[in-house]
A and B are shown apart, each in its own frame.
Chain A
Amino acid sequence: MGKKRLISGVVATAEAVRLADVDVITSFPIRPYTGIMSELARMVADGELDAEFIHADGEHAQLSIVYGASAAGARTFTGSSGVGVTYAMEVYSPISGARLPVHMAIADRTLDPPGDFGSEHTEAESCRDQCWIQGWAATPQEALDLTLLYYRIGEDPRVLLPQYACQDGYFVSHIAGEVEIPDEGQVKEFLPPYKNKHSLNISDPMIIGAQIEPEMGPPLQYQRYIAIQEARKVIAEAYKEFGEIFGRKYSPFVEEYMTDDAEVVIFIQGAHSVTARNVALKLRNHGEKVGVVQLRTLRPFPTEIVRDVLSRFKAVGAVDNSVNYGIAGDGGVLLSEARTALYGLGDKTKTVGFVGGLGGEVITMEEFYKMYAKLKEIAKTGKVERDSYWLPYEL
């Protein structure tokens, strides 16, 4: 059994990186993820972690460095926030294309403008289709656990894909929560050493990333397409074994809260799901049949599970903490994905989008009460007046 500490998401993430015995770390400062790197720099300086710590010349350089280091056979760590995440965009596809299990922590921040420090999922979601495993932690404990889980999943020889382990800026990254730090022995049991037989090794020379003819592109892309689909199986396995070794059992794809006889649910990911749960609990005490469905893995999207779960309810409100200008339904990624998952089942389950918490604002309990009231109305009348509501202006 590990020991319990009261720490923030960034410190919890750094603890996981230390436990994973990472070889190459590369940093560049941008709030709020910076705290992870400060903590890792301290660990390296104090001799608690033996790793090369490289101060990169930007986020694009960070991702370039871990691309090279991972190809050479090292376990790597990097991270960013906000515009830093989008600045590195060029390098995400080469990393997944070379099947390198690079690990990147993202502590969310708005893009510019507005350029405030607040948290939004926009930057991380804008990278969602680069063939990286991606999901959100809702608490500091989940941030630590997600880091270990993603190293294990990404480095599995059946997967070999990079991972974005996301946490909401400030709400998770900078608010302390109780975190159980596992023993090194437990981590060793769960996370075997990184071995990739496709690496830069002089005893077995190979070309990584050759230039290809147009007709050779589709087969390579098809392999990635299959790889991320197959990852679903490995994700489920890894979460199961994680529960057995560490004693914390998560549902790998969607976490249901008070949904047994629920008529309406909020569909949400990340830290605001904690507020949603509190509101659901209060409404339950007043006899309302409401629940929360928390999405844990955005990529690969658990289409069938989301379909099976959400189709049990009369109305689903997808809460998006991101801006997706001009998207179908004028909501966000979660609304679109939920509707796609439900497509073909008829009109039994009504869906509506709520865009909230922009600029790092709290999605208040009052706002969740309003969302549940709207969902109740939709469930009762069977009518969806509009696809989405942008909070607080439109609801």
Chain B
Amino acid sequence: MLETIKTLRDMPKEEYYVPGHRTCAGCGPALVYRLVAKAAGPNTIFVGPTGCMYVANTSYGCGPWAVPWIHAQITNGGGVASGIEAAYKAMMRKGKYTGERPHAIVMAGDGGSTDIGLQALSGMIYRGHDVLYICYDNESYANTGIQTSPTTPWGAVTTFTPSGPAVPEGKRLWPKDNAQMIAHGHPELKYLATASPAFPVDLFNKVRKGLNAEGPAYLHIQAPCPKGWQFPSNKTIEMAKLALDTGMFQLYELEDGKYKMSYMPKERKPVDEFLKLQGRFKHLKPEHIEKIQNFVDQKVKAIEIEIAALS
């Protein structure tokens, strides 16, 4: 069992995500990865589907890993992790491996989790593999140069959803809610949570709870991206916090069939305070911002109603 902690001071000093990566300054996913590796500890195997954390992070000869790491295709993180978990189960039962069973963690981007790799994720959870699957959600296909993914917000500009006279708002689709999709309809799921680098202790503890759960667990972590969202690289944590304070993203966990909010702003700020600081939204007109506000109001209400009903 991995212990949960109360304050930042309780975090272990040891790092398993060490210097060697080449991500952008202020990279949200890299900050998240460091916390995840710290929480998981040395008895861990990471599966890294193609995405920023592979391309910019796991370069031949200078990868940042102090634990075993294997590449997966952007399509198949869930499948590769299923195989690793099954291999250790079989080898231990048959006496071919006698050590401690390692944890298996998939660290996949939003494309690899909610789009092209969704089937592999769903299959892994459906089959009950004891794996922690983490989506680091930077809200676009970022390493290919910022293209829209299913979690890119409505109205955001990407290189595949530019704003122009015929399409003034940019992206015209509402984002997919992967945590809710996974939570509903996977009876083998043992633990699910959303997390944010704005609350590192909460994130750390959720990783450990996911690993302690005997069976599949899913964490959806919002990871602001200075390049894709177009904000200064020293504002990553501020963006993460603002996303929570405006209701653009919400923190909760689902444990033993019960939902619990992890963070509720005392007074929710208008979404404009989040949008106006990011270049990807700078083309939006007041009527567009109003549309996003309505969407967020409804989403917040839906989650809160659900949590009230299930807690």
| B-binding residues in A (CB < 8 A) | 21, 23-24, 26, 50-52, 54-58, 60-61, 64-74, 76, 90-91, 94, 98, 193, 200-203, 205-213, 216
Q: Is B308 at the interface (CB under 8 A from chain A)?
A: no
Verify if B90 is at the interface (C-beta below 8 Å from A). yes
Tell me if B87 counts as interface (CB < 8 A to partner A): yes
Specify which chain B residues have a CB less than 8 angstroms from the CB of A69 in the assembled complex. Answer: 83-84, 86-87
- A338 to chain B minimum Cβ distance, whole angstroms, is 35
Contact of A61 with B87 in the complex, beta carbons under 8 Å = no
Q: Which residue of B lies closest to A51 (CB)?
A: B90
Q: Which residues of A contact B84 (CB under 8 A)?
A: 68-69, 71-72, 200
Please state if B59 and A210 are interface contacts (CB–CB under 8 Å): yes
Q: How many B residues are at the interface, by size bracket?
A: 35 or more
Interface residues of B in 83-130 (CB under 8 A from A): 83-84, 86-91, 93-94, 96-97, 99-100, 102, 119-120, 122-123, 126-127
A52 to B129, CA, bound (A): 11
Given contacts A23-B87, A65-B83, A203-B99, 9 further A-B contacts (CB under 8 A): A56-B123, A57-B119, A58-B119, A65-B80, A94-B71, A205-B65, A208-B68, A210-B60, A212-B59
Which of B43-51, B213-221, B260-268, B271-279 contacts its partner? Answer: B43-51
- Minimum distance in angstroms from A184 CB to a CB of chain B: 15
Select which of B44, B54, B71, B75 is within 8 A of A202 by beta carbon.
B44
Is the CB of B67 closer than 8 A to any CB of chain A?
Answer: yes
Question: Do B97 and A210 touch (CB < 8 A)?
Answer: no
A213 touches B86 (CB 8 A): no
**A202 near B80: Cβ-Cβ < 8 Å:** no
Question: Does B70 have its Cβ within 8 Å of any Cβ on chain A?
Answer: yes
Q: Report yes or no: B94 in contact with A50, Cβ–Cβ below 8 A.
A: yes
5 A-B interface contacts by CB (under 8 A): A24-B86, A61-B82, A68-B79, A74-B90, A202-B45
Q: In the assembled complex, which residues on chain B have CB atoms less than 8 Å from the CB atom of A90?
A: 73, 75-76
From B67, B69, B76, B88, A64 is in contact (CB under 8 Å) with: B76
**How many angstroms from the CA of A19 to the CA of B66 in the assembled complex?**
38
Q: Are A202 and B60 in contact (CB under 8 A)?
A: no
Q: In angstroms, how far is the closest chain B Cβ from the Cβ of A55? A: 7
Closest to B44 in A: A202
| B88 surroundings in chain A (CB, below 8 A) | 72
A68 and B94 CA atoms in complex are apart in Å by 18
Nearest B residue (CB) for A97:
B71
Contact status B79-A61, CB under 8 Å:
yes
Knowing A50-B90, A69-B87, the reply to whether A211 touches B123 (Cβ < 8 A) is no
Task: Give the complex CA separation of A94 and B65 in angstroms.
Answer: 20
Question: Are the CB atoms of B70 and A202 closer together than 8 Å?
Answer: no
> Which chain A residue has the least Cβ–Cβ distance from B64?
A207
Task: Find the A residue at minimum CB distance from B131.
Answer: A68
Q: Is B55 an interface residue when CB atoms closer than 8 A count as contact?
A: yes
Q: Which residue of B lies closest to A193 (CB)?
A: B96
**Is B91 in contact with A73, judged by CB distance below 8 angstroms?**
yes
Among residues of A, the one whose C-beta sits closest to the C-beta of B50 is: A211
Measured CB to CB, the nearest residue on chain A to B121 is A57
Q: Does B246 belong to the interface (CB within 8 Å)?
A: no
| A383 vs B251: C-alpha distance when bound (angstroms) | 79
Residues of chain A contacted by B165 (CB below 8 angstroms): none
Interface centre among A24, A26, A68, A209 (most CB of B within 10 A): A68
B55 to A, closest residue via Cβ: A211
Given contact pairs A202-B44, A212-B59, A216-B60, A207 touches B83 in the complex (Cβ within 8 A): no
Please report the C-alpha to C-alpha distance between residue A58 and residue B79 in the assembled complex, in whole angstroms: 10
Q: How far is the CB of B33 from chain A (nearest CB, A)?
A: 14
For B73, the chain A residues whose CB sits under 8 A away are: 64, 90-91, 94
A68 to B80, CA, bound (A): 4
Q: How far is the CA of A72 from the CA of B83 in the complex (A)?
A: 8
| Residues of B contacting A201 in the complex (Cβ-Cβ under 8 angstroms) | 68
B280 to chain A, nearest CB (A): 26
Residues of A within 8 A of B87 (CB): 23-24, 52, 68-70, 72-74, 76
Instruction: Flag whether B244 is at the interface (Cβ < 8 A).
Output: no
CA distance A264 to B171 in the complex (A): 67
A50 to chain B, nearest CB (A): 6
Report yes or no: A211 in contact with B59, Cβ–Cβ below 8 A.
yes
In the complex, the answer to whether B61 meets A210 with C-beta atoms within 8 Å is yes
Bound Cα distance from A212 to B86, whole angstroms:
29
B270: Cβ under 8 A from any A Cβ: no
The verdict on B81 contacting chain A, using a C-beta distance below 8 Å, is yes
Residues B123 and A61 in contact, CB atoms below 8 Å apart: yes
Chain B neighbourhood of A58, CB < 8 A: 119, 123
Partner of B96, one of A70, A73, A94, A202: A73
Contact between A24 and B79, CB atoms less than 8 A apart: no
